[in-house]
Amino acid sequence: MDKPLRRIIECEALVFCMSVCESLGVILLQCILQAADIKNVNETMLYCLEVTFSKVILIFLYYTFINRFVKKSDIPYAKTRYIMYGIILLYNLINMGVIVENFKNGEENYLCAVNMGCIVLADLYLLYFVKMADEKNYYEKQLIALEQQAKVQYEYYLTQAKKYDQTIQILHDVNKHIKAIEGLYGAEQEKTAGEYATKIRELLKLLIPVQYTENPILNILLTDKESVMREKGISVTIKIDNVNLNFIEPIDITTIFGNLLDNAIEATEKLKGEKYICIKIGSYHKMIVVSIENNCNEVKWKNGFPVSNKGKNGGIGLLNVQSSVKKYDGNLILKSDGNKFIAELFLNS
């Protein structure tokens, strides 16, 4: 469909919706007047009431429902927005009830008409203010999420830079190492030469990513995190089936696995005694199943997420993970059992 034609149809549909909303307001007013047994109302005052009721209904329905389809915004409506809308609507109904009661008592004061006009203007301002405050809060959360994501990426690149420096150092001295080993063999000190070669091999091994999967980014990330875990005395188990993870974008690989593994490391390193993290990746039909399990202290929950001790920005990492998982029609499940925490996610491949 051509864009101009679609615009015309959308405008016609919007006008129709507005007409229906205003009609609902008039019908609602008639029902209220009948229920209050108010019959003899000045035509001017009745017109003011009809205009006010219809506009109030139109404004509320616009901000609550119509606006979402007209603007096609990706910003989700927070529960607090609906609560505020409900409070404002309740206030309007109470105010209208007082005005209707004045009519019932025969008080046809034109100040009531002014009051009704102020109600409409106040509704426009308050609902717009609530909408803007909700959107501001949403964008602030998005900004914090992006900052958290950038932090994960920055830490990842710092790790890679450190590895690069180590590689340069080893390569710089590689000739010296070779000559030293040759000298030891020449002096028939095979055992010492073998131990020397083993140390060099271990140094190089740390710089080469383990081929866990066909995804190079995940291989690098898992190799880095495994090294960190072992440095912190955490027992690591990695079980990965023959699965293809190349459909996941590199930034999502870093966001998902980086945040989940960082959380697992942070929770586990605080423990005394045994520390373990178990990483499993497999497939079920057309779904990729990831499970990261670790032991931890008792977990406290709030709104389906574990309570973080990082202050107001705590939990942003998990929100980033959830956002990335949704890109692949997936689901993130967090659960705890005593001193065990499990993060499971399902991705549609």
Question: Which of these three, 103, 118, 148, is where a domain ends?
Answer: 148
156, part of any domain: no
252, part of any domain: yes
pLDDT at 277: 94
Is a pLDDT exceeding 70 seen at residue 215? yes
110, part of any domain: yes
pLDDT, tens digit, for every residue of 148-201? Answer: 667 766 676 676 667 666 666 666 666 677 777 777 777 767 777 777 777 777
287, part of any domain: yes
Range of the domain at 76: 3-148
- Tell me the pLDDT of the chain averaged across its residues: 76
Q: How many domains does the chain have?
A: 2
pLDDT at 281: 94
Do 139 and 272 reside in the same domain of the chain? no
Question: Which of these three, 105, 124, 148, is where a domain ends?
Answer: 148
Q: What amino acid occupies position 333? A: I
Do 127 and 33 reside in the same domain of the chain? yes
Do 133 and 39 reside in the same domain of the chain? yes
201, part of any domain: no
pLDDT at 95: 72
- Considering the entire predicted model, what is its pTM? 0.54
19, part of any domain: yes
| Residues of the chain above pLDDT 90, percent | 15
189, part of any domain: no
Do 22 and 123 reside in the same domain of the chain? yes
| pLDDT class of 140 with cuts at 50, 70, 90 | confident
Q: What is the CATH number of the domain that holds 344?
A: 3.30.565.10
Question: Which of these three, 132, 148, 164, is where a domain ends?
Answer: 148
